Amino acid sequence: MARRRIVIALGGNALLKRGEPMTVANQRENVRIAARAIAPVTADNDLVISHGNGPQVGLLALQAAASGQHTPLDVLGAETEGMIGYMIEQELGNLVPFERPFATMLTMVEVEPNDPAFQNPTKPIGPMYTREQAALLSKEKGWTVAEDGAGWRRVVPSPLPKRIFEMRPIKWLLEHSTIVICAGGGGIPTMYRPDGTLAGAEVVIDKDRASAVLAREVGADLFVMATDVPGVYADWGTSKHRLLRRTTPAELRALRFASGSMGPKVEAAIAFVEETGRRAAIGSLEEIERIVAGEAGTIVEPE
């Protein structure tokens, strides 16, 4: 098969599994598992890897708070791009020939100050709490909290990514078949001040949405979202639920998804496929090699 340009977005939950203690050792072990899954597709493809940071950005926020400090979400996002990007570069680097170049790049992403998401925080970050803990934290820290699966979590605004600032360097590196790790955590959230200078924003951008922008901008042949489920299910929660193997933006639009995790993935897949006429895929991290070969996951194709 001809060499392809592939963007793989690694789910934050794939890197730190739900319920696992947020230790560096656990994160590294999960990154190692992800690296093993990705390594087989490195040889014949040009690769861009992005990743989530929901659990990690919340963890670093708590660490700062435990020292009596406030670190804004843009700076925390930058810290997580360092922490997670490093582990991915090192662990994947241990599995591919030394000659293959790697670059992990900090990525600033622009959001609009008037994005309605600022009024409606939806993105869960940090650890799970009980309902009582969450209510207390909301009162003490002014957090917005919301249910997320079996527990409660802090939620922050998640405005739409409008632009990735470092696109030219990313493309130059891809021309040399560099494996580029970027747009971690959806990118470092930034927005323009009225005076025209760029500043950080106290939000977390959805990494699947940002990765769709990234995949479009690098001209990806395939955009893969790797998560902890085998793909997109129709009729989920009913006895008739079935994995969609091949689908289209139109078919996906007719289905309903929870706003939590699968919703943004489906939306990102639709956006990429409609804007580029190329394919997107959603599936399990362990099956990346088969997803890239078109043999697993949910493949979203143009009509």
Where in the sequence numbering do the catalytic residues fall?
12-13, 123, 207, 265
Of residues 200-229, which lie at the interface with its own copies (CB under 8 A)? 200
Judged by beta carbon, residue 103 or residue 255, the one nearer its own copies is 103
Distance separating alpha carbons of residues 109 and 95, to the nearest angstrom: 30
Distance separating alpha carbons of residues 210 and 259, to the nearest angstrom: 16
Query: Rg of the chain's alpha carbons, rounded to an integer?
Result: 18
Distance separating alpha carbons of residues 294 and 232, to the nearest angstrom: 15
Could you tell me whether strands 246-247 and 279-284 are parallel, antiparallel, or unpaired per DSSP bridges? unpaired
Q: Is 160 exposed, middle or buried (0-12, 13-18, 19+ CB in 10 A)?
A: middle
Decide if residue 105 touches its own copies (CB under 8 A). yes
Amino acid of residue 60: L
Judged by beta carbon, residue 43 or residue 199, the one nearer its own copies is 199
Judged by beta carbon, residue 91 or residue 267, the one nearer its own copies is 91
278 φ/ψ angles, rounded to the nearest 5 degrees: -105, 180
- From residue 8 to residue 47, the character string flagging contacts with its own copies as x (rule: CB under 8 A) and all else as - is --------------xxx-----------------------
Decide if residue 108 touches its own copies (CB under 8 A). yes
Distance separating alpha carbons of residues 233 and 257, to the nearest angstrom: 9
Judged by beta carbon, residue 38 or residue 108, the one nearer its own copies is 108
CB of 298 to its own copies, least distance (A): 32
CB of 167 to its own copies, least distance (A): 9
CB of 62 to its own copies, least distance (A): 6
Crossing angle (nearest 10°) for helices 73-93 and 24-38? 50
Distance separating alpha carbons of residues 183 and 166, to the nearest angstrom: 9
255 φ/ψ angles, rounded to the nearest 5 degrees: -95, 170
Judged by beta carbon, residue 72 or residue 230, the one nearer its own copies is 72
What dihedral angle (degrees, nearest 10) is formed by the CA atoms of 9, 87, 204, 143? Answer: 130
Which letter does DSSP use for residue 42 in this model? T
Number of residues forming the site for its own copies (CB under 8 A):
50
Q: Which helix (H) or strand (E) element contains residue 84?
A: helix 73-93
With CB under 8 A as the contact rule, which of the stretches 94-102, 218-226, 252-260, 290-298 interacts with its own copies? 94-102
CB of 275 to its own copies, least distance (A): 24
For its own copies, the binding residue among 197, 238, 239, 240 (CB under 8 A) is 197
Judged by beta carbon, residue 170 or residue 222, the one nearer its own copies is 170
For its own copies, the binding residue among 39, 106, 137, 255 (CB under 8 A) is 106
- From residue 55 to residue 74, the character string flagging contacts with its own copies as x (rule: CB under 8 A) and all else as - is ----xx-xxx-xx-xxxx-x
Distance separating alpha carbons of residues 86 and 81, to the nearest angstrom: 8
CB of 212 to its own copies, least distance (A): 22
Decide if residue 93 touches its own copies (CB under 8 A). yes
Of residues 150-179, which lie at the interface with its own copies (CB under 8 A)? 165-166, 168-169, 172-173, 176, 178
CB atoms within 10 A of CB 66: 8
Judged by the rule CB under 8 A, the positions of this chain that interact with its own copies are 22-24, 59-60, 62-64, 66-67, 69-72, 74-75, 78-83, 85-87, 89-90, 93-94, 101-106, 108, 165-166, 168-169, 172-173, 176, 178, 188, 190, 197-200
